[in-house]
Amino acid sequence: MGKFTPYKHKVQYYETDQMGIVHHSNYIRWFEEARTDLLEQMGIGYDKIEKEGIVSPVLGVEANYLRMVRFGDTVTIETNITEYNGIKLIVEYRVFDEETGMVHCLGVTKHCFLNEKGRPVFLKKKHPRLHKMFLKGIENKKE
CATH code, 7-139:
3.10.129.10
Catalytically annotated residue among 17, 47, 73, 97: 17
> What span, in angstroms and rounded, lies between the C-alpha atoms of 50 and 77?
24
Residue 73 appears among annotated catalytic residues: no
Q: What is the pTM of this model?
A: 0.92
Enumerate the domain spans of the chain. 7-139
Q: Work out the angle at residue 119's Cα, subtended by the Cα atoms of residues 112 and 91, and round it to the nearest 5 degrees.
A: 5
**Residue-by-residue pLDDT tens, the chain, 143 positions:** 348 999 999 999 999 999 999 999 999 999 999 999 999 999 999 999 999 999 999 999 999 999 999 999 999 999 999 999 999 999 999 999 999 999 999 999 999 999 999 999 999 999 999 999 898 877 766 44
